[in-house]
Structure 1
Amino acid sequence: MMDIILILKATFAGVVLGALFEKIRLPLPAPPVFAGVMGVLGVLLGGKLVELFM
């Protein structure tokens, strides 16, 4: 249950920041969608590999 609340908070914060950046006409501080997803996946996999071998 705690994970769902954390995910909802993070999503809400992202929506608010995205709207704010759009409102003041600044470029979004995010990489292209696919590259960003792959970067996050890489960080997750790297952490899991360290846990596995340590």
Structure 2
Amino acid sequence: MKIAILSLLCGFVVGLVFAAFKLPIPAPPAFAGILGIVGIYLGYKFVITVMPLLLR
């Protein structure tokens, strides 16, 4: 949980810096882009955790 909170805090600070310099955010601006990132994470976790169980 500590890593998740630190990651959120780091992302928040990066967002502040980008807004202060009036730069576009380095993240998907749309909900579909965020879902794409979540899908990449879920696919990775599936291969790491479920695939070894299926290949036994």
Shorter-chain TM-score tier: 0.7 to 0.9
Describe the shift of the 1:49–1:7 C-alpha distance in structure 2 as closer, same or farther (beyond 3 A).
closer
Corresponding letter in the other structure for 1:6: I
TM-score by length of 1: 0.72
Percentage of matched positions with identical amino acids: 37
Gaps of 5+ in 2: none
Aligned residue pairs: how many? Answer: 51
2:26 maps to 29
Task: Tell me the alpha carbon deviations over residues 8-46 of structure 1, each in whole angstroms, 9 at most, x when there is no partner.
Answer: 100110111000001011111111231232112211232
TM-score by length of 2: 0.70
Gaps of 5+ in 1: none
2:4 aligns to what SS in structure 1? helix
Once residues 8 and 33 of structure 1 are traced to their aligned partners in structure 2, the CA distance between those partners, rounded to angstroms, is: 23
1:53 maps to 51
1:41 maps to 38
Across the aligned residues of Structure 1 and Structure 2, the Cα RMSD in angstroms comes to 1.6
The structure having more radius of gyration, on CA atoms, is 2
